[in-house]
Chain A
């Protein structure tokens, strides 16, 4: 991000002059947002935070909030650091008149540290496309929500897509697939799923952990390119690791169109540094790509045309991570709307939002009303199902933009759902949790 000294000084001056006037009205809906606009992962974090903030501001500017209740957004910068994230959560959780209606920590580490706390604090934890996959089981995790997709579902979709490319699941027998992953809780998530799929389809899976931050991957790629020669590479990478992997793949001449990353490996900051080497690289996405949707137009006319947009970078509206931030904002604000239908048009508490999330139904028609038809997949949650349909699509980088190259693909629920159940049951046993009844 370019640092604009003049604008920053001006902003600081304005902020100083409005000393003490920042006290918010009591009947605003408070939204606490954990973001990382600084630190090693900031390039993706800034876009996410801008998308989230812009969508919230759009509702304020265009509709006057939700059902007449204005939204107040307070950000706290975690720098993708678990300690700081915990501090942010504890600081923001009592904000506004009703406290934080939900927390979106945007980091697997912070998610794990919050898992127990949110139940005690009665604040729903929404982890869109990260965190614990088995939290899809709402009976064990009443306070944790994972729409629209999980890492396990992502792994399954990747294999489904690869199978289709190869000409059917039968053709996968004896083929080789390599997983290159960030050696942390996040990167390890898909291993069990992929192992189960390898046993089912009869392909060979090789695992290649990359120690964070992942700038040194030469030995791994030499091995992949010269020795293993896999038919496909799946990557669960994050931050600088992604661009490095793409460059190394090009260096050993591994075809980029046989290289598919998870959604955190499919942002513009991941492919642009790799230059032409990234052309043809694919990635999974749980949100649509591009800026050509009505909701983007609304943001441009209502915010950016009036100089009220969050992003300082030209063309960031519609970036992959920006859309992802918008999607998180949609999930939260639609949950608030659902809660208000039950409890009246006033600021909602965490408990009320949890009630709403248990019944969240953002249908295709509703997406159309929001101007996001095709941009986000419909989400329908129940008390027992905290994931929804969990569909994912595949996008490909053409050197200028990501383009969707597949329909929304449904993970194989017959295989994945029992895995969620088993894993959640093991967690419940370890923690002494009695799963709640869901009618």
Chain B
């Protein structure tokens, strides 16, 4: 009843190839965007926008980046944190070397630099696969963090190795980084960047390139036989993935925390993002967002929940309960639906199609 496609006819190729061919999906996405762009800034407090939504959006972007590589191209990577750090440090160097540079230019250029680094570390992917590739990318994780720690040039020779974002504006006078920036401005800026990039990737995976990635993921020998060039396709996946992770890292350092040390992008960050992709759903744009929501929002909810109910539980106990509940939920979800939250959503849609006469 609610989700019925009957009667929706496509008479042109354009209509058939639309990103969201079903009317209900279009309305749903528009509603989500309207809530995100209009309702959230109006009703959300600074705490909500600046502390809950910002890290969620930025990590969702990083998860999207890893999903391109692992979910669509089937290349397992543990180097996400390193690529995020590359983006953050590239953005810092660009912003301090060329003070007049616009923040969007800084973001795009740091994304491109990270893409270059990603290609470099993607070269071994031609010969090694699966867990072996994960170990090779793990090397990039450790190497990059070590490099930013070791060479003072990356931090403008700061004694502590910490970088911090100079105040930057969009539209002339609206601050999006630095202490003058309001939470709403930061949130809207990050939301716009993430929404745009997500749309771009949604299109990309439907294109020639995306289909080649999926062909390699599903069976690389078959893909090679039908004429897909292995090296360039895999490297393209690395480039796009690191581009997104680089921008996520730059956003994290510049807009969310304002100043970071390389340790903010350590191996734990890579694992965190890998878990987002696994829980959210491999090979799904929506899954990246659902996974990021699960991993970032749930712990905050769990640590706040006792307080909302007026319970006075010692903080260490809250932390321990949080870890236990979180771990149990991860196991529960992966048993109930090993393909991730995105698959649950898909099942829900299928059920709605048949409702009220399921079989």
Q: Give the interface of A toward B (CB within 8 A).
A: 8, 11-12, 15-16, 18-23, 35, 37-39, 42, 46, 75-77, 79, 82-83, 86-87, 90-91, 94, 108-109, 112-113, 115-117, 119-120, 132, 183-186, 188-189, 191-192, 209, 211-212, 423, 430-432
Contact = CB atoms under 8 A, between A and B. Distances in A.
B312 interface: yes
Looking at B159, B259, B261, B323, the one whose CB has the most chain A CB atoms below 10 A away is B159
Nearest to B264: A82
Given A90-B51, A117-B258, A21 B310 contact: yes
B318 A77 contact: yes
Contact of B319 (A12, A23, A79, A212): A79
B257 A184 contact: no
Contacts of B96: 430
Nearest to A119: B179
B311 interface: yes
B166 A184 contact: no
Looking at B161, B166, B180, B304, the one whose CB has the most chain A CB atoms below 10 A away is B161
B44 to A, nearest CB: 12
Given A119-B179, A431-B164, A16 B304 contact: no
Nearest to A37: B316
B310 A22 contact: yes
A422 to B, nearest CB: 11
Interface in B250-273: 257-264, 266
B351 interface: no
Contacts of A430: 96, 156, 164, 166
B261 A185 contact: yes
Given A8-B317, A113-B258, A116-B259, A90 B47 contact: yes
Interface residues of B, number: 45
A308 to B, nearest CB: 14
Contact of B311 (A16, A113, A119): A16
B55 interface: yes
16 contacts: A11-B317, A35-B315, A37-B314, A39-B319, A91-B51, A94-B47, A112-B164, A116-B258, A189-B160, A191-B159, A192-B159, A209-B149, A211-B146, A212-B266, A430-B96, A430-B166
Contacts of A115: 164, 258-259
Interface string B140-173: 0000001001000000100111101011000000
B316 A18 contact: no
Contact of A23 (B46, B52, B310): B310
Given A82-B264, A86-B257, A90-B51, A189 B319 contact: no
Contacts of A82: 257, 260, 264
Contact of B160 (A42, A76, A91, A132): A132
B311 A109 contact: no
B47 A91 contact: yes
Contacts of B304: 91
B357 interface: no
B320 interface: yes
Counting from the closest, the 4 A-B pairs by CB-CB distance are A37-B316, A185-B160, A120-B179, A90-B51
Interface of B: 46-47, 50-52, 55, 96, 146, 149, 156, 159-162, 164, 166-167, 178-180, 257-264, 266, 300, 303-304, 309-320, 323
A282 B297 CA distance: 44
A12 B47 CA distance: 28
Nearest to A46: B316
A113 B263 CA distance: 13
B310 A87 contact: no
Contacts of A16: 311
A202 to B, nearest CB: 22
A414 B112 CA distance: 47
A38 B260 CA distance: 22
Contacts of A120: 179-180
Nearest to B323: A38
B259 to A, nearest CB: 5
A113 B166 contact: no
A11 B257 CA distance: 36
B311 A15 contact: yes
Contact of B179 (A23, A77, A108, A117): A117
B260 A112 contact: yes
B311 A87 contact: no
B350 to A, nearest CB: 36
Contacts of B161: 184-185, 188
A38 to B, nearest CB: 4
Given A38-B320, A189-B159, A211-B146, 17 more contacts: A15-B311, A19-B309, A22-B310, A37-B314, A42-B316, A77-B315, A86-B257, A87-B51, A91-B304, A94-B47, A112-B164, A117-B258, A184-B161, A184-B263, A185-B160, A431-B164, A431-B178
B300 A87 contact: yes
A8 B320 CA distance: 12
Nearest to B256: A86
B316 A116 contact: no
Looking at A42, A188, A432, the one whose CB has the most chain B CB atoms below 10 A away is A188
Looking at B149, B164, B259, B303, the one whose CB has the most chain A CB atoms below 10 A away is B259
B263 A109 contact: yes
Contacts of B146: 211
Contacts of A79: 319
Contacts of A39: 319
A112 B259 contact: yes
A185 B149 CA distance: 9
A69 B178 CA distance: 36
Nearest to B165: A116
Nearest to B296: A83
B313 A112 contact: no
A183 B149 CA distance: 7
A109 B261 contact: yes
A270 to B, nearest CB: 20
B257 A90 contact: no
Contacts of A432: 166-167
B311 A90 contact: no
B353 to A, nearest CB: 40
Looking at B146, B262, B315, the one whose CB has the most chain A CB atoms below 10 A away is B315
A91 B300 CA distance: 10
A19 B310 CA distance: 5
A120 B175 CA distance: 13
B159 A15 contact: no
Nearest to A191: B159
Nearest to A133: B159
Contacts of B46: 90
A42 B260 CA distance: 22
A37 B323 CA distance: 13
Contacts of B260: 82, 109, 112-113
Contacts of A21: 310
Contacts of A108: 160, 261
Nearest to A79: B319
